[in-house]
């Protein structure tokens, strides 16, 4: 694994996260090569001297692949594979590999396939350097002299259109379900947060569901929705969503937009934070960036500091200068603070009902 420092903060945290990503993908970590540069090398990203060091380490360990904690251009990836004589994965490829392994539902598999094809489309050239690039043919295989790479690009484009059409159908189905909940005035709550912050564990604790929860990155890819009755708020709908990460690939954000729309249209966002994580403030910022990218900025948000049994914090509720709840400290594992969180959700439900009643009265007066 390779992690280079370009002068930014959080280098050690980035190196640790790279190791966890590799483990989540099923790779065995043998060695971590660190480096420092002012800017990436246009040809090899890491520079010729550092690439030689990486090559020596990989050869000594007989490593099957080399993982870079950075996004590589197609040319850089191709040049590195030639220099290192083994497979090279950049950060985006590694995350796509994890998503491909974890997707369980048909929708999740469609979204991962779409993201993978869009990423592959920029890297087709390296797959055909050892083959005859010219081929003849008739009908569907293209005209005489058509290049193999052009045929593959057309096939990827066709498959991409099919996937987008299927995902659009799923999006419309979700829209119908959301409209039904809106007519019944059911509060929609969406759990968002950094990967491995404990969203699925908190979801299970709130809804008594049995959603998959594991101490690994991206344990949840498919949105799970459950109804739960709160004594002070009635029935609410809680959704568990895919976790975010620093520099989440844009292809994944675009492919998972159908799933993430559950977050965009939520009435309340519970932003789950790993209170025991050293870089929690940076993680909060990274999650808010993705939320802004997908347009989920209008709904009220409550920070839920989870895992207080590990951080040593006490269960508590913090309010802002306007008296609104802004943070709740809980432990999904022990159940500490969950009653306070349920009360916070009920308070948000009452505030939503009051706002709707006020808007209806104002409309009638006009």
- Write down all domains in the chain, each with its CATH number in brackets: 2-89 (3.40.50.11060), 184-365 (3.40.50.300)
| Largest distance between two CA atoms of the chain | 79
Burial bucket for residue 259 (CB in 10 Å: 0-12, 13-18, 19+): buried
Q: How would you label 123-133 residue by residue, b for 16+ Cβ within 10 Å and e otherwise?
A: eeeeeeeeeee
Long-range contacts of 207-214 (CB under 8 A, 24+ apart): 207/238, 211/240
In a structure prediction context, what are the per-residue pLDDT tens digits for the chain, which is 366 residues long? 666 655 555 677 777 888 888 888 888 877 888 888 888 889 998 888 999 999 998 899 888 889 888 888 888 988 999 999 989 888 888 888 888 887 777 777 888 888 888 888 777 654 444 444 444 444 555 554 456 667 778 888 898 899 889 888 887 887 777 676 666 678 889 999 998 899 999 999 999 877 666 666 676 666 788 888 887 778 888 988 888 888 777 777 776 776 677 788 888 999 999 999 988 998 999 999 888 888 887 788 999 999 999 999 999 999 999 899 999 999 999 999 999 999 999 998 888 877 777 766 666 665
In whole angstroms, give the CA distance from residue 26 to residue 24. 5
**Measured between alpha carbons, how far is residue 161 from residues 114, 134, 195 in Å?**
9, 26, 29
* Residue 187 and residue 237 in contact, taking contact as beta carbons nearer than 8 Å: yes
Q: What is the DSSP letter of 43?
A: T
Q: CA-based angle 163:164:170, to the nearest 5?
A: 95
Q: What is the Cα–Cα distance from 175 to 209, expressed in whole angstroms?
A: 23
DSSP conformational letter for 259: H
* Number of Cβ atoms within 10 Å of the Cβ of 276: 17
Measured distance CA(123)–CA(121) in Å, rounded: 6
Q: For residues 199 and 211, give the distance between their C-alpha atoms in angstroms, rounded to a whole number.
A: 10
Rounded Cα gap, residues 21 and 216, in angstroms: 9
Q: Select from 292, 352, 341, 286 the least CA-distant residue to 316.
A: 341
What b/e sequence results for 1-13 when a residue is b if at least 16 CB atoms lie within 10 Å of its CB, and e otherwise?
A: bbbbeeeeeebee
CA distance 316 to 295: 30
Could you tell me where the beta strands, DSSP code E, fall in 140-285?
Answer: 146-147, 187-193, 224-230, 234-240, 268-274
CA atoms of 310 and 139, how far apart (whole Å): 64
3-class state of residue 272 by DSSP:
strand
The pLDDT of residue 5 is: 52
Which backbone phi and psi does 125 adopt, to 5 degrees?
-60, -35
What is the structure's pLDDT at 295?
83
Rg (CA), the chain: 24
Residues in the chain: 366
Q: What is the pLDDT of residue 142?
A: 52
pTM of the prediction?
A: 0.77
Burial class (CB in 10 A: 0-12, 13-18, 19+), 19: middle
């Amino acid at each position: 694994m390779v992690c280079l420092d370009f002068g930014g903060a959080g280098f050690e945290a980035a190196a640790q996260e790279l190791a966890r990503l590799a483990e989540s993908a099923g790779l065995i970590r043998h060695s971590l090569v660190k480096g420092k540069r002012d800017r990436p090398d246009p040809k090899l990203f890491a520079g010729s001297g550092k690439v030689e060091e990486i090559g020596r380490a990989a050869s000594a360990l007989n490593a099957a692949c080399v993982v870079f904690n950075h996004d590589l251009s197609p040319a850089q990836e191709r040049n590195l594979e030639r220099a290192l004589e083994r497979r090279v994965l950049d950060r985006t490829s590694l995350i796509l590999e994890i998503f491909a392994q974890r997707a369980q539902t048909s929708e999740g598999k469609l979204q991962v396939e779409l993201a993978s094809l869009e990423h592959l489309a920029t890297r087709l050239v390296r797959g055909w350097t050892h083959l005859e690039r010219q081929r003849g043919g008739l009908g569907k295989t293209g005209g005489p002299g058509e290049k193999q790479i052009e045929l593959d690009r057309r096939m990827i484009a066709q498959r991409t259109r099919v996937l987008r059409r299927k995902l659009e159908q799923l999006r419309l189905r979700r829209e119908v379900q959301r409209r039904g909940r809106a007519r019944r005035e059911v509060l929609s709550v969406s759990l968002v947060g950094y990967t491995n912050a404990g969203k699925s564990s908190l979801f299970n604790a709130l809804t008594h569901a049995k959603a998959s929860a594991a101490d690994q990155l991206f344990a949840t890819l498919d949105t799970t929705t459950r109804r739960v009755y709160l004594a002070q708020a009635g029935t609410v709908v809680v959704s568990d969503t895919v976790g975010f990460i620093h520099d989440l690939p844009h292809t994944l954000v675009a492919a998972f937009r159908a799933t993430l729309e559950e977050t965009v249209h939520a009435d309340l966002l519970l932003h789950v934070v790993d209170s025991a994580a050293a870089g929690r403030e940076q993680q909060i910022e990274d999650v808010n960036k993705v939320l802004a990218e997908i347009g989920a900025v209008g709904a009220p948000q409550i920070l839920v500091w989870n895992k207080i049994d590990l951080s040593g914090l006490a269960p508590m509720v913090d309010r802002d200068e306007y008296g609104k709840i802004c943070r709740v400290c809980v432990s999904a594992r022990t159940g500490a603070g969950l009653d306070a969180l349920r009360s916070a959700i009920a308070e948000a439900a009452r505030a939503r009902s009051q706002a709707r009643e006020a808007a209806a009265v104002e409309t009638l007066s006009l």
